Amino acid sequence: MINNSQQIKLNLKYFKTAPNHFGYGLNSTICSGKKEHIYVYYSKMDYVVYNTVYRPVGRYLYKDFNKLYNDVNVRKAYSNNNIVYLSLN
C-alpha cells in the first residue's frame, strides 16, 4: 500500500514546471523546439494568484496567460468554471 507521502513523491517525479512567462520571452510560441505532446492546466485560482499576490515576482502575468490562450499551437482540451486544460502540439 502506498501512503500519501509516497504517492506525492511518485507524482513529483513526472511533474515539470512551465518556464517563466510560459517561455514567451524567448519564443513566439510555447511549442517552439518541443517535439513531445504536452498538456498544461491551470485553475482560476492560479490565474488570480499569479496576477495579484505573486505579481511582484513576475513569473506569469495577464499577458502571458492571454498569449497562451491565443497561441495557434495550443488547443483547449477541457474547460469548466475553475480549470483549463490545454493541449500543446
Q: CB of 89 within 8 A of CB of 35? A: no
Asked whether the whole model's pTM tops 0.85, one would answer no
Quote the domain boundaries for residue 83.
Answer: 36-89
**Domain assignment of residue 60, yes or no:** yes
CB-CB neighbours of 23 under 10 Å: 19
Would 75 be classed as within a structural domain? yes
- What does the alpha-carbon distance between residue 58 and residue 48 come to, in Å, rounded to a whole number? 13
Would you say residue 12 lies in a domain?
Answer: no
Residue 74 lies in a domain: yes
Instruction: Give the Cα separation of 35 and 13 in Å (integer).
Output: 20
CA 87 to chain centre: 10
Q: What is the per-residue pLDDT across 12-59, written as a single tens digit (0 to 9) for each?
A: 334 467 788 888 887 788 766 666 777 888 899 999 999 999 999 989
